[in-house]
Amino acid sequence: MEAASCSSSRYSYEEYKETAEWLRDHTEQRPRVAIICGSGLGSLADLLQNKTVFHYKDIPHFPISTVPGHAGQLVFGSLQGCDCVCMQGRFHFYEGYDIQTVTFPVRVFHLLGVDTLIVTNACGGLNSTYSVGDIMLIKDHINMPGFAGQNPLCGPNDKRFGERFPCMSDAYDRELMALAKQTAAEQGCDSFLQEGVYCMVVGPSFETIAECRALRTLGADTVGMSTVPEVVVARHCGLRVLGLSLVTNIAVTDYDSHEKANHEEVLKTTQYRAQDLERLVTHIIAKI
């Protein structure tokens, strides 16, 4: 049996640059902060002022999001006086995209001058102390696809983006985490703010009971199907990263349970907690 292989990037530096230059030519905003919205969390982009909106299909080389709850558009604007760009919809392995496509926007953001990436996602809670509606500050992650050879940095390294062997022990910026905790306390969100480890699996099937138990044994507090590849590429490019996970369902770990995870539940939970997450992100950006 052949070992899993890492193919070289399907995108050239010139293609990333072409996308960045096209966006720069079509908007006056020069974002410092990029926000990637998870399932049902695209309303974060609605907070931006002086907006310029681009549908993914109209942007050169940009993939197209196909998942319910992901609008599929890039929104430029200002938030609390800070120029931002917001992805309403990200890309996933389970849509059939390869890892270079999943992470394509992050390198474009880097070329646009972004220095801070805020990633959000909807996730399943593995930690027994977590409740539906909790917001987890990501302090670390477990890259399950990476264990299987699916790391976005595989293949020839382009030094114009970053070094060959980037450190990942500081993947999530500690200063931004401290800022988020301080802001949560000020905004009355600290009662449902957690801090823990996010584990990425590929999906689209939700995890089995045995898989949930195994991930919890590995030290994961939440599990989801996104985020980690984008964070790896962001750190490779030197971006600071803040990660926020919204717990939309509790993972089933009991064989006697009749609970079943489903995407409709995920979207329903984001609706009632979205305003709190919006308030938190808005005030964090004001301090950045």
Residue 253: band (very low, low, confident or very high) from pLDDT cuts 50, 70, 90: confident
> Residue 84: pLDDT above 70?
yes
- Please provide the size of the chain in residues: 288
Task: Answer with the residue of higher pLDDT: 270 or 83.
Answer: 83
Would residue 278 count as lying in a domain?
yes
Decide: pTM greater than 0.75. Answer: yes
Catalytic residue flag (residue 9): no
Catalytic residue flag (residue 70): yes
Number of domains in the chain: 1
Task: Kindly name the residue from 144, 225, 234, 251 that is annotated as catalytic.
Answer: 225
Residue 31: band (very low, low, confident or very high) from pLDDT cuts 50, 70, 90: very high
Q: What is the Cα–Cα distance from 49 to 204, expressed in whole angstroms?
A: 34
Catalytic residue flag (residue 226): yes
Task: Kindly name the residue from 94, 97, 177, 211 that is annotated as catalytic.
Answer: 94
- Domain containing 269: what range? 27-287
Catalytic residue flag (residue 141): no
**Three-state secondary structure readout of 133-178:** CCEEEEEEEEEHHHHCCCCCCCCCCCCCCCCCCCCCCCCCCHHHHH
pLDDT at 44: 81
Task: Kindly name the residue from 34, 56, 65, 70 that is annotated as catalytic.
Answer: 70
Task: Kindly name the residue from 16, 56, 92, 200 that is annotated as catalytic.
Answer: 92
- How confident is the model over 34-57, as a mean pLDDT? 87
Catalytic residue flag (residue 11): no
The CATH number assigned to the domain holding 77 equals: 3.40.50.1580
- How confident is the model over 121-147, as a mean pLDDT? 94
Q: What is the Cα–Cα distance from 183 to 105, expressed in whole angstroms?
A: 28
Catalytic residue flag (residue 94): yes
Would residue 17 count as lying in a domain?
no
Catalytic residue flag (residue 50): no
Would residue 197 count as lying in a domain?
yes
Would residue 160 count as lying in a domain?
yes
Residue 5: band (very low, low, confident or very high) from pLDDT cuts 50, 70, 90: very low
Catalytic residue flag (residue 198): no
Residue in 138, 154, 157, 156 with CA at minimum distance from that of residue 146? 154
- Residues paired with residue 195 on neighbouring β-strands, in sequence order: 137
* Cβ atoms within 10 Å of 205's Cβ, excluding its own: 11
Would residue 4 count as lying in a domain?
no
Would residue 7 count as lying in a domain?
no
Residue by residue, DSSP assigns 81-148 as: TEEEEEEES---GGGT--HHHHTHHHHHHHHHT--EEEEEEEEEE-STT--TT-EEEEEEEEEHHHHT
Catalytic residue flag (residue 136): no
Residue 8: band (very low, low, confident or very high) from pLDDT cuts 50, 70, 90: very low
pLDDT at 268: 67
Contacts of 151 (CB under 8 A, 6+ apart): 6, 99, 143, 145, 229, 232
Exposure on the CB side of residue 102, measured as CA atoms within 13 A: 23
Catalytic residue flag (residue 92): yes
